[in-house]
Chain A
């Protein structure tokens, strides 16, 4: 839906805003490595989509909080300047559910976002999405 300006948003609509598609991820706050949580595979899908889990299994992701997910969480936390705990803590989930660009953050398993210096010339090398970009043309 397109609104020319904020005042053009109908009042009735304001009280019926749907939840964001990722809001349910907050239910995974506090999940820990080594345990299984129903629906956790969706978080893995998220991390895979944005390049944090580079290799997708031949079948769907499991609901296990495994080493791959912990590693993904740590890289994500580094990229977004969060405390690197490897846990799905409140700060990390709050960042994850934010609306974002669909282009991936990670290329070939190498973090491209947090080079440590804002003026460092860092070349992204690949990702699920970027691979699609480059192969597509």
Chain B
């Protein structure tokens, strides 16, 4: 695992972060629930909990789907390519490419569309950045930079867990059940 420059993290003593969705996206509950699940995967292993708030401007983590240039100097590029990006602590911006064919639930490996991307898989990865983790070369880890279309990869690996616990410590209720693979299911998909 790696960290960002200077190892930025949320302030010492932080136990709860709020998140909100860009109201302009008008996301349905099924989509919001995906993010809730993704946040909980990190909360299970470390000391930070995430709570949804309706105040986008006041939220610690601001989630939005955008296309092309969207004001942060990092334009999205269309189908596949770059799927999402998130910023290091304590910025909190979490942007996803609105041009992707996002699948919110179900078995994405059965999707008939070759460009289908599992939303939760990408969300779990980006939350790692929001917490302060960089990319890793451990292919099975969540923080590995690439993910193929029609693939689901949501379980934190040892590398991910060790990284976030280095930053914030372990959830006292967390029991280490060695994770040998982060993929619940997968297939070759597009690539």
Point out residues on A near B: beta carbons under 8 Å: 1-7, 9, 11, 13-14, 17-23, 50, 79-81, 94-95, 97-103, 105, 107-108, 112-115, 118-119, 121-127, 129-134, 136-137
A-B CB contact pairs (8 Å), 15 listed: A2-B104, A2-B119, A9-B113, A13-B113, A22-B81, A99-B83, A99-B148, A112-B2, A113-B136, A115-B2, A123-B7, A131-B5, A132-B74, A134-B6, A137-B87
When distances are taken between beta carbons in the complex, the residues of chain A under 8 Å from B158 are: 118-119
In the assembled complex, B59 has its CB within 8 A of some CB on chain A = no
Report the Cα distance A48→B84, complex, angstroms. Answer: 18
From A2, A5, A94, A101, B145 is in contact (CB under 8 Å) with A101
A136 B137 Cβ-Cβ under 8 A: no
Within 114-129 of B, Cβ neighbours of A (below 8 Å) are at 114-117, 119, 122, 125-126, 129
Within 25-44 of B, Cβ neighbours of A (below 8 Å) are at 27-28, 30-31
Report the Cα distance A4→B72, complex, angstroms. Answer: 28
Report the Cα distance A1→B6, complex, angstroms. Answer: 36
The 10 closest A-B pairs by CB, nearest first: A20-B80, A102-B85, A5-B106, A14-B112, A21-B81, A114-B137, A6-B111, A102-B82, A98-B146, A100-B146
Report the Cα distance A99→B82, complex, angstroms. Answer: 6
Sample of 9 further A-B pairs with CB below 8 A, known A14-B112, A101-B129, A132-B73: A11-B112, A23-B80, A94-B191, A98-B146, A98-B191, A99-B148, A123-B6, A124-B2, A126-B5
When distances are taken between beta carbons in the complex, the residues of chain A under 8 Å from B148 are: 98-99
Given contacts A80-B137, A118-B1, whether A99 and B146 have CB atoms under 8 Å apart is: yes
Distance (Å) between the CB of A87 and the closest chain B CB?
A: 20
When distances are taken between beta carbons in the complex, the residues of chain A under 8 Å from B136 are: 113, 118
Distance (Å) between the CB of A126 and the closest chain B CB?
A: 5
The stretch of B11-19, B45-53, B95-103, B174-182 that contacts the partner chain: B95-103
Distance (Å) between the CB of A94 and the closest chain B CB?
A: 7
Report the Cα distance A97→B162, complex, angstroms. Answer: 29
B159 A118 Cβ-Cβ under 8 A: yes
Report the Cα distance A53→B1, complex, angstroms. Answer: 22
A79 B102 Cβ-Cβ under 8 A: no
